Structure 1
Amino acid sequence: MANVFVDCHCHISAREFVQDLDDVIQRTTQAGVKTLVAVTEDQREFDRVLQLQKSYGGLIAPCFGVHPLQSDEGPDKRSVKPQIGLDFTPWCAPSEQERDDQMKVFVQQLGVAKELNLPVNVHSRSAANVAISTMREQGITGALLHNFAGKLSVAFDGVKAGYFFSFPPAVCTNPQKVKLIKQLPLEHICLETDSPALGLNKHERNEPCNIALVCQYIAQIKGLSTETVQFVTTQNAQRLFTKISQL
């Protein structure tokens, strides 16, 4: 398993991939990606992910949830229930009531994960401290904080709880993340692409095959070989998402 990747958070069911999905999948497997944790943004994608799993077999690991923001643009965009995390940015949750609504559903969904003995894949924009403290209060033992952008002290609280943190290719152009990545133990880091978003160029479609870029960047920051980062992050992903080995 030393020469494979696990993309712990991507949106392979997104409409941006519909036209050339077979080509995208081919590039993905050629890049050494063994598993795509296919995260949904709204319930309309659930069936699509299941169809992709049938088409591409063990490559696709379904991860169901609804993003705190609906995918609709314009005035119809609003906070939704349920969701896979918390988004306390002002344009998403401008009022205390909206933040409270998110919290209620977040706790409910954590309860579902505990009941099913499943890890959680969490969006925590501008809410890292609240997300981690809430998960610890709720007794969550398996969690991934995707595209983590919280403070180092908050991250260490997550490390103490046994949580993992993943970073997409966009981190390679964000010097603010260097200290965070350098200080986080590699044993608590996973790789993701969040494709089709968060690539090196925000104006270009990101793909799962770009996961090698973030692996190389983390290796550079930590002064390690890319092979070491690839091996350890894949082991981390398999420890967190235990069911992917059964796919």
Structure 2
Amino acid sequence: MFVDVHAHLDDEAFDTDRQEMIKKIEKAGIIVVNAGSDMASSRFSVKLAEEFDFIYACVGIHPHEAKKVEKDYLTELEELAKSPKVIAIGEIGLDYYYGSSEKDAQQKVFREQIELAKSLNLPVVVHDRDAHKDTADILKNIKPERGLMHCYSGSLEMAQEFIEMNFYFSFGGVITFKNAKRPKEVAAKLPSDRILLETDCPYMSPEPYRGKRNDPTRIPIIAAQMAALRGVMLEEIERITYSNFNRLFITR
């Protein structure tokens, strides 16, 4: 069974055909983890997960939204996390590329959400863009129980630091792009018990759909590229990523 460990089915890109898309995902037999990025999307993710047994939810505040959080946001996240379908705190982290929120605000909200995850014995799903050192330093300081580096873009050497902190790594459509040299190298060489698949839909469609709306039914395309990079059968990627999903998210 394939698992898309990072999707955004709550995104407005699915507003016109969300139910039809969910039916296609169910027919394809794909498990989806829908990631929150603010309070509204976190609530929506929980609603979706509670309605469909093959959808799970993460709740959290994306770094872009860090400057907008209300004083009681942690209380609401904790309340949402009481749902048995919530399996992680995320999408959280740091993003210095766009600068949508000041670095101090991003770091504060990131730290607070890691602490919340620790108190709930939940993994964290981490967004890291152009902030590798600060992301690693904060994680090393607070030491979450386990976590996922979503859409991992760092080096193999840095990945080893995250592995020592009990982190996993998910890869999406980027590994199908011709010029994605480093993601391909890292996806090929990471230990098999640390790799996962994602779409980050509606973004980052794999080839030959690049530039079009992405969705979880394209996970097999990403899996096939992962299999080619690692020199194994597609069925092996399906087996190990499903096993890794259960080890990271389901087993507590």
Structure 2 length normalisation: TM-score? 0.83
Name the structure 1 match of 2:63.
Answer: 68
CA drift of 1:44 comes to 1.5
Name the structure 1 match of 2:201.
Answer: 195
Counterparts of 1:92-241 in structure 2, within 5 Å, are 92=99, 98-173=102-177, 174-200=180-206, 201-241=209-249
CA distance in 1, matches of 2:100, 2:61: 16
2:62 counterpart letter in structure 1? H
CA distance in 2, matches of 1:202, 1:144: 24
The answer (yes or no) to whether the contact 1:85–1:123 under 8 Å persists in 2 is yes
CA drift of 1:162 comes to 1.7
The answer (yes or no) to whether the contact 1:169–1:198 under 8 Å persists in 2 is yes
Give the structure, 1 or 2, with the largest relative contact order (CA under 8 Å, sep 6 or more).
Answer: 1
CA distance in 2, matches of 1:191, 1:133: 25
Please state if 1:26 is matched with 2:3. Answer: no
CA drift of 1:202 comes to 4.4
CA distance in 2, matches of 1:79, 1:179: 35
Please state if 1:48 is matched with 2:44. Answer: yes
The structure-2 alpha-carbon separation of the partners of 1:5 and 1:156, relative to structure 1 and needing over 3 Å to count, comes to same
Q: CA RMSD for the aligned pairs?
A: 2.0
Q: Which moved more, 1:227-236 or 1:16-25?
A: 16-25
Gaps of 5+ in 2: 74-90
Runs of 4+ in 1 over 4 A off after TM superposition: 78-83
CA drift of 1:243 comes to 6.0
Name the structure 2 match of 1:7.
Answer: 4
CA distance in 2, matches of 1:129, 1:30: 41
Tell me the matched-pair count: 228
Structure 1 length normalisation: TM-score? 0.85
The answer (yes or no) to whether the contact 1:121–1:143 under 8 Å persists in 2 is yes
Percent identity of equivalent pairs: 30
SS for the counterpart of 1:158 is: helix
Q: Which moved more, 1:172-181 or 1:210-219?
A: 172-181
The answer (yes or no) to whether the contact 1:144–1:164 under 8 Å persists in 2 is yes
